[in-house]
A and B are shown apart, each in its own frame.
Chain A
Amino acid sequence: MMDKLFLKDNDYAGLLKELAREGIVYASVEEEGEKPHIRLITDDYDGQLKPASIRAVEPLKALLFPALENVGAYMGGADPGEAKQRAFIIGAKSCDLRSLEILDRVFAGGDFEDPFYIEKRDRLTIISSDCTACADECFCGLMDIRPYPTGEYDMNLSKVDGGFVVDTGSERGAEIVSKHKEFFSGAADGQVEERERNREAISLALEEQAEGLRIDADLRKITSEGFEDDVWEEEAGRCVECGACNFICPTCHCFILSDHAGGKGYERMKRWDACQYAGFTRVAGGASVLQRRSERLRNRYDKKFIFFPALMDRYACTGCGRCVSACPGKIDIREILKVLSSQALARRQR
């Protein structure tokens, strides 16, 4: 195993701009007073390149499973030109990495593979980083996720005084180091210890924040048992069917194929769809299994806490809290889980 490396604060922007000569660089950037956003970094980027303290507003899925994507032409149309450039994402957080496990299972697993996802995934180098703060909505701990990456990255950056402790997690990560030796030096033991202290502190902060959100039981169990609970009807009363929770969710993967005339033939598009939309399960003739908003709200939880754990032993929720921030009806996943949990507890005590 390679010794820990160190990247100075002053070299962070330089490294990003170097990488921008090798491919497309997306970085999660936190500008003064703003939430972190994923920005396209070019070698003449003149904004601040402050590394993000928490996950970006945008989910990572947007880079691999775009909101709207041309998946090809048929019966005479022209095939979409494909960008084959390498891409980098800098500042992905631990919760973002978990979301990729879910998306990989959906698009690269099973009997059929989605070549569009796989091709983008193969081209993407992931440089993740530890969280140095937690947003009010963060609850990753509840989903068994640490606020710092524990794997699934090519390179990870942990903020310490004056720079970053650098880990490489793959050949690709190691290549970045060997290709850009000038930016990296050995990390001192003190810096590694500082990183460990930071990790403990942020974990503690998250735990304190989650105090009062003690979910008592297995989420799979409370979601199945709470199928008939009033909470769905009550919470769905504030749903305006905007689909924001679905679109902002890093693991929501539903899409719909739609066709149009294009070129000399026809083109097919793959576009994000939302299970909170009334038409999501509507069939020809008008019938729909998820007719009520409450049924559609419940569907989202069913999928995340029952379906995916059965499929791959993972909750399809990363505790990122994006849906909490995005919902205009203030529907809060933490509150719903709390209600289900306390109902489960009450049932047990009866």
Chain B
Amino acid sequence: MNNPYLPIAATIEEIIEESASIKTFVIRPDEEIVFETGQFVELTVPGVGEAPFTPSSSPSVSERMEITIMEAGSITRLLHGMSPGAKVGLRGPYGVGYPLEKFRGRPVVIVGGGVGLAPLRSLLLALMEEIQLYDTIYLKYGAKTPGDIIYRRLIPEWAEVEGLDVTLTVDGGDEDWKGNVGVVTTILDDGRIDPAKAVAVACGPPIMMKFATSRLLELGYREDEIYLSMERNMSCGIGKCGHCRLGEYYICKDGPVFTWNKIKHVEEPFA
């Protein structure tokens, strides 16, 4: 019987601290998991339950998966208490990946807020692996404070990549911070980008998604070229359990990424 509800066993190989409340888990599943960037998995804490996460590692690596997780609820609290060697479960991948073929030859603007950069890192890695296929890739990332910026060990490398432009901002700086101060919407207006030609991809907390979407629309990005990571409570991941409904869609099956034109009629999509 092909049982869609059960996870395969996996081992946490390494845990990397990204910020006070965010860690990246390097996980090796007993069987390879092949995913497309943008798809998500259900991660099981054995005997307790599972929660959905989008991997933050490259989709071209299937024997190991990295997932960056903020401690926010009961499952993530238990995950944060784990050590390398701990056993977890993985189920998936589910949902629909980013349509990378549609991004080719065009500027790609990646807008991240806080831990929302985690799934975007997977996209970024996928784009970087064939960067010549795209126009410039712009990463525009905002965090609350400099200490909340994740992937601080990786960002300097990304800044060196030809064809990739990185801009960071923080809501509030400290004495060492020399960069932009302000929410992420303040760094979206960029004279180098032609919004009519670009695609924008955003992931972050609901309030940021709401304002980023308005700002992108104001700047002239097309409704069907703004890709938004949507979030709802989720259980089964396969379009049966009814939890993650968003209008006529289930986020687990039709998402988790939607273009704005598809969801703009839904009341309070970012609530």
Contacts and interface: CB of A to CB of B under 8 A. Distances in A.
Interface of A: 71-75, 106-107, 110-115, 119, 227, 253-261, 265-266, 268, 270, 273, 275, 280-285, 287-289, 303, 306-307, 310-311
Nearest to A266: B47
Contact of B248 (A112, A259, A307): A307
Interface in B32-47: 44, 46-47
Given A259-B44, A273-B242, A111 B253 contact: yes
Interface stretch (B68-76, B118-126, B137-145): B68-76
Interface stretch (B3-11, B157-165, B194-202, B221-229): B3-11
Given A280-B243, A281-B232, A259 B6 contact: no
Grouping DSSP codes into helix (H, G, I), strand (E, B) and loop, the A interface class, with mixed when no group exceeds half, is mixed
A112 B9 CA distance: 21
B46 A115 contact: no
Given A75-B87, A75-B89, A259-B48, A111 B238 contact: yes
A289 B232 CA distance: 8
Contacts of A256: 235, 241, 243
Interface string B60-93: 0000000000001111100000000001010000
B247 to A, nearest CB: 8
A260 B239 CA distance: 23
A64 to B, nearest CB: 13
A284 B76 contact: yes
Given A281-B232, A281-B243, A287-B206, A72 B47 contact: no
B240 A106 contact: yes
B238 A282 contact: no
In the A-B complex, the 8 residue pairs with the smallest Cβ-Cβ separation, listed nearest first, are: A284-B73, A254-B242, A112-B238, A284-B72, A261-B47, A285-B72, A71-B5, A266-B47
Given A110-B240, A289-B271, A311-B248, 19 more contacts: A74-B6, A74-B9, A74-B44, A74-B46, A75-B7, A110-B239, A112-B4, A115-B1, A119-B1, A227-B267, A253-B242, A255-B235, A255-B240, A256-B243, A281-B233, A281-B243, A287-B271, A288-B233, A303-B242
Contact of B6 (A72, A303, A310): A72
Contacts of B18: none
A107 to B, nearest CB: 6
B72 A273 contact: no
Contacts of B48: 259
Interface of B: 1-9, 44, 46-51, 72-76, 87, 89, 206, 231-233, 235-236, 238-243, 245, 248, 253, 267-268, 271
B9 A254 contact: no
Contacts of B51: 284
5 contacts: A72-B3, A111-B253, A254-B242, A281-B233, A289-B268
A110 B75 contact: no
B18 to A, nearest CB: 17
A207 B241 CA distance: 35
A144 B50 CA distance: 41
B241 A74 contact: no
A256 B50 CA distance: 11
Contacts of B243: 254, 256, 273, 280-281
Contacts, number: 112
B241 A72 contact: no
A72 B9 CA distance: 14
A303 to B, nearest CB: 7
B6 to A, nearest CB: 5
B264 to A, nearest CB: 15
B267 A257 contact: no
A257 B89 contact: no
Contacts of A265: 46
A253 B51 CA distance: 20
B233 A72 contact: no
Given A255-B235, A257-B50, A284 B74 contact: yes
Nearest to B234: A283
Nearest to A261: B47
Contacts of A74: 6-9, 44, 46, 89
A51 B231 CA distance: 48
A256 B9 CA distance: 21
Contacts of B72: 284-285
A270 B232 contact: no
B267 A72 contact: no
Contacts of A273: 235, 241-243
B249 to A, nearest CB: 9
Contacts of B8: 74
Contact of A257 (B1, B75, B241, B271): B241
Contacts of A289: 232, 268, 271
Nearest to B71: A284
A217 to B, nearest CB: 20
A25 B75 CA distance: 42
A220 to B, nearest CB: 11
Contacts of A288: 233
A56 B1 CA distance: 33
A214 to B, nearest CB: 28
Contact of B5 (A111, A260, A270): A270
Contacts of A113: 2, 4
A334 to B, nearest CB: 24
Given A74-B7, A311-B248, A107 B49 contact: no
